[in-house]
Amino acid sequence: MKKLLVLALAGAALASASSANATGCNNANFRKLQFFSDDTGAILWQNPREDSPLDSNSHRLLVHVLSQDGDDFAGAFSNCSGIEKRTLGQVKNLSFDFMNETGQPVHVGAGSPRYSVGIDTDGDGFADFFAFLAAFHCQAVLPEDTTWSRADFTGRVQAGCSLFAGAETFTSDGAKSAWTLFAEAHPTWKVTIAFLVVDEAGTTFVDRLAFHNRIYIASGSGSSAIKNCSSEASC
């Protein structure tokens, strides 16, 4: 299944790059958060709903996979974050908020929801593997509403946040984030694409998806839906 997903998203990345050259991020439909899904997977914005307490609106993403028979998934990515072709050390932000299992029977599994990040190790512009940044391995309960948690792979330095990059695991150590340690270990590696994906059966609610220099907090393409991340701390 993951092989199929990688192939599908690799194609999406190429299509996005071509579209970016043709239309750019001034096109509203191109600028908004992009969705993909297959088989029993589905994703949509909901409003008004209980959402992350870290923003002032009432929008959240519902991602649902009815069953997993090998090709069921749904997710989202950004055409306009600028993360593509960045070295690991240049990436500003990879984080999202999610409803945890204390309040509702949602699904937070070992590998889903997660960010999958294409990594180019040899400079040819194509992903040689995908790093997995799963919420399950980077959970910080939000004190503003304890039914929500945050997975912040670039900003959290407190111990307990891990990402998986091929055969390697990087874990925040109290001084540096998991992503910072990953970047320091591989300073020349680059990102080809980053996307949220849910591919385990169940229902997931997520919000405030940050990809490099954009954070998505609502449906749409304007400033109320997409905020700029001038630094890691700003999102």
Q: What is the mean pLDDT of each run of 10 residues along the chain (235 residues)?
A: 49 47 79 97 97 97 97 96 97 97 94 98 97 98 98 98 98 98 98 97 98 97 95 89
What's the mean per-residue pLDDT of the chain? Answer: 92
| pLDDT at 12 (0 to 100) | 52
| pLDDT at 143 (0 to 100) | 97
**Torsion sign over Cα 34, 135, 38, 166:** positive
| pLDDT at 218 (0 to 100) | 98
- What's the pTM? 0.92
| pLDDT at 139 (0 to 100) | 97
Q: Locate all alpha helices (DSSP H) within the chain, ordered by sequence.
A: 2-23, 28-31, 178-185
**Torsion sign over Cα 88, 91, 93, 94:** negative
| pLDDT at 22 (0 to 100) | 45
Q: What is the DSSP secondary structure assignment for residue 216, as one 8-state letter?
A: E
CB 93 within 8 A of CB 155: yes
| pLDDT at 7 (0 to 100) | 44
66: number of Cβ within 10 Å = 13
| Per-residue pLDDT tens over the stretch 116-142 | 999 999 999 999 999 999 999 999 999
Angle (CA) 182 115 230, round 5°: 70
Domain limits, the chain? 2-84+92-117+140-155+191-228
Q: What is the DSSP secondary structure assignment for residue 89, as one 8-state letter?
A: G
